[in-house]
């Protein structure tokens, strides 16, 4: 008989959540700082920027494989920590290498020939693909570790705390950008930008490596003896082919997968253009646009706490997820209105409200995600949910950058609507429609039917294996 997962306790949950904070810190640097520098300072086309950065998520199917390997193949008697550490070392190294490569590609676009430009762009896409593989290698076993170490009663609190620390990491990353790069206000010379950004990235990744060790050392118990033998036997028996059969055999899994894609897309479609929005529509410098992510992060933190401590217990997970989607839709419309007013204080208030909406929706979506994860195949299901979110973030970067370029092109050929706002409004308008679609998908999710369908599917998959 399987033993119930040992509880983490508050202190260990906070310590484990520090790793999620590291991911948040790097995310705001890649999704905010580097996007802005490439689009606004280096004049790289937004579609190209979106495609290159999206390669981080285009490799997201590897999350399913990583989850499966983590379940079935321990290293040194541990299923999670070795993969977390290897992935962290890899993505930190690649983060540093990204800076010189970005500036090299920008130089090639200005002065290079077609074949050298193509080679540079392919190298940039390859680097971000490798970065995405490294993130998957670390983050998928990490989420499986959270499931391993928490029971069903403790899990909602643990999820709330860990994702609060993700948001704290986003805020810390934005603050570090504002402080570390404040000397770059008004600077557009690549010869000045490159060494400063490289030195900044080196400091960030060294801090990430140190905090990761503090967060994770001693957090996984070796799976030896009878305590985990039954669970391990079940997990080891589920092959990749059977994992796919388990996922596709349930309509409810596919519906929830679609909801996660649309929900995440509704949050992050503006991600590749937000700081450029602040720069071009509101005239904000680099350090000031970084503060937009800090405001968004503060709002998200408040939303996570509000949902976890009050709204979800009172209204339930599905009702809170619906509320979150509705508030996200309203926030996107307000974000467009702020651009029409052109007032920075209005933009800042809207970013806090947008973050609050994101926090409320994210808390309920994450708790739903982990509740709809079978303990017998935790790594596999976490990989599937991670795949849904990663795919949507990839689509967000490509579509967001592409819509911005499309809006600029339409503005140029029409000769109408002068000013920088209309192309950005196009991106935000499409994002609002996606939020509406997420609401429709959520209305099709049935928790009871999900559990019944996936439980029956798992039994059939294992029975076929025995046969």
Q: pLDDT tens digits for 164-211?
A: 788 788 888 888 888 888 777 767 788 888 999 999 999 999 999 999
pTM exceeding the 0.75 threshold for the entire prediction: no
Q: pLDDT tens digits for 67-89?
A: 778 887 888 778 889 899 999 99
Report whether 420 contacts 227 (CB < 8 A). Answer: no
Report whether 427 contacts 269 (CB < 8 A). Answer: yes
HEC sequence for 305-363:
HHHHHHHHHHHCHHHHHHHHHHHHHHHHHHHHHHHHHCCHHHHHHHHHHHHHHHHHHHH
- The pLDDT-based confidence of 249 (bands split at 50, 70, 90) is low
Distance, CA of 208 to CA of 259 (rounded, Å): 32
Q: Which of 32, 49, 54 is nearest to 109 (CA)?
A: 49
* Structural tokens at position 427: 């991106």
Q: pLDDT tens digits for 250-290?
A: 777 788 888 988 999 999 898 888 888 998 899 888 778 87
Q: pLDDT tens digits for 198-210?
A: 999 999 999 999 9
Q: Which residue reads 């007013």 in tokens?
A: 341
Give how far Cα 316 sits from Cα of 190, 207, 311, Å.
51, 38, 7
The sign of the torsion formed by the CA atoms of 70, 205, 127, 31 equals positive
Q: What are phi and psi of 75, to 5 degrees?
A: -115, 120
Give how far Cα 235 sits from Cα of 19, 112, 331, 378, Å.
25, 52, 42, 8
Region 10-217+231-466: CATH code: 1.20.1250.20
Q: What are phi and psi of 37, to 5 degrees?
A: -60, -45
Q: Which of 31, 50, 192, 29 is nearest to 121 (CA)?
A: 50
Q: Which of 221, 66, 152, 81 is nearest to 370 (CA)?
A: 152
Q: DSSP for 229-276?
A: HHHHHHHHT--HHHHHHHHHT-HHHHHHHHHHHHHHHHHHTTTTTHHH
Mean residue pLDDT across the chain: 82
Q: pLDDT tens digits for 392-407?
A: 888 888 899 899 999 9
């Amino acid at each position: 008989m399987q033993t119930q997962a040992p509880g983490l306790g508050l202190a260990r949950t906070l310590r484990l959540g520090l790793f999620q904070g590291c991911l948040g810190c790097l995310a705001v640097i890649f999704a905010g700082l580097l996007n802005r520098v490439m689009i606004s300072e280096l004049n790289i086309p937004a579609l190209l920027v979106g495609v290159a950065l999206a390669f981080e998520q285009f490799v997201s199917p590897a999350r399913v494989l990583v989850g499966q390997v983590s379940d079935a193949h321990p290293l040194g008697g541990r299923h999670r920590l070795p993969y977390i550490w290897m992935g962290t070392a890899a993505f930190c190294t690649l983060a540093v290498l990204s800076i010189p490569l970005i500036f090299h590609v920008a130089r090639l676009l200005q002065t290079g020939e077609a074949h050298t430009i193509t080679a540079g762009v392919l190298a940039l896409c390859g680097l971000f693909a490798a970065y995405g593989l490294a993130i998957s290698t670390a983050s998928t076993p990490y989420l499986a570790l959270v499931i391993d170490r928490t029971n069903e009663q403790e899990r909602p609190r643990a999820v709330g705390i860990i994702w609060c620390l993700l948001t704290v990491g986003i805020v810390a990353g934005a603050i570090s950008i504002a402080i570390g790069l404040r000397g770059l206000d008004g600077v557009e010379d690549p010869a000045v930008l490159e060494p400063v950004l490289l030195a900044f990235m080196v400091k960030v990744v060294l801090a990430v490596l140190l905090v990761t060790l503090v967060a994770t050392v001693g957090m996984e118990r070796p799976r030896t003896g009878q305590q985990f033998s039954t669970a391990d036997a079940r997990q080891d028996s589920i092959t990749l082919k059977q994992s796919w059969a388990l996922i596709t055999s349930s309509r409810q899994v596919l519906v929830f997968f679609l909801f996660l894609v649309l929900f995440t897309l509704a949050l992050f479609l503006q991600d590749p253009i937000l700081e450029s929005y602040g720069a071009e529509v509101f005239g904000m410098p680099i350090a000031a646009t970084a503060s937009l992510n800090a405001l968004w992060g503060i709002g998200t933190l408040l939303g996570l706490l509000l949902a976890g401590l009050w709204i979800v217990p009172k209204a339930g997970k599905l009702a809170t997820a619906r509320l979150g989607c509705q508030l996200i839709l309203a926030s996107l419309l307000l974000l467009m209105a702020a651009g029409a007013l052109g007032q920075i204080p209005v933009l800042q208030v809207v970013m806090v409200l947008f973050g609050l909406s994101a926090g409320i929706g994210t808390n309920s979506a994450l708790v739903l995600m982990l509740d709809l994860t079978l303990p017998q195949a935790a790594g596999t299901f976490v990989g599937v949910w991670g795949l849904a979110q990663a795919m949507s973030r990839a689509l967000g970067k490509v579509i967001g950058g592409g819509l911005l370029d499309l809006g600029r092109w339409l503005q140029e050929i029409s000769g109408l609507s002068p000013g920088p706002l209309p192309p950005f409004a196009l991106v935000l308008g499409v994002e609002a429609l996606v939020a509406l679609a997420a609401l429709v998908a959520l209305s099709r999710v049935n928790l009871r039917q999900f559990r019944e369908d996936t439980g029956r599917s798992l039994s059939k998959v294992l029975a076929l294996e025995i046969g």
